[in-house]
Amino acid sequence: MAAPKIFESEYRFCLILWEHEPVRSGELVALCREQLGWKPTTTYTVIKRLAGRGVLKNENSIVSSLVSKAEAQASEIDELLESRFGGSLPAFINAFARSRKLNSEEVDAVQGMIDEYRRRNGDV
């Protein structure tokens, strides 16, 4: 099951939450004021909205995530692949590689991920 949709401003909020969780809602308000320039009402509205969508929980004024950063990122990638590349990972990688020069460390890291995937999945 895909993670609930997290919109851009909500994602910036979640970055703060993931870094500090579990965190008291009052402290989160102060962090959002400092880092995002948000008013307290904005932060509380986002907390309520994300809690309603199952992204986080707010119990006894302690806020913690129900969706990890990795899950949110994976969901965004899945959505991008489907909407822009017809679900094709090779098409995405081809477009990415054409538009960005990779250094040798990045190529080695990607190759390492592919090799690890093959080891885990029986040399697909």
Query: What DSSP line would sit under 36-92, residue for residue?
Result: H---HHHHHHHHHHHHHTTSEEEETTEEEESS-HHHHHHHHHHHHHHHHHTT-HHHH
Same domain (yes/no): 29, 59:
yes
Does residue 75 lie in a domain region? no
55: domain range? 8-69
Percent of the chain with pLDDT over 70: 98
Does residue 74 lie in a domain region? no
Same domain (yes/no): 95, 58:
no
Does residue 37 lie in a domain region? yes
What pLDDT shows up at residue 1? 60
Same domain (yes/no): 57, 106:
no
Does residue 42 lie in a domain region? yes
Same domain (yes/no): 46, 14:
yes
Answer for the pair 17, 6: CB distance below 8 angstroms, yes or no. no
- Please say if the pLDDT value at position 118 is more than 80: yes
Number of separate domains in the chain: 2
Q: What is the mean pLDDT of residues 33-47?
A: 98
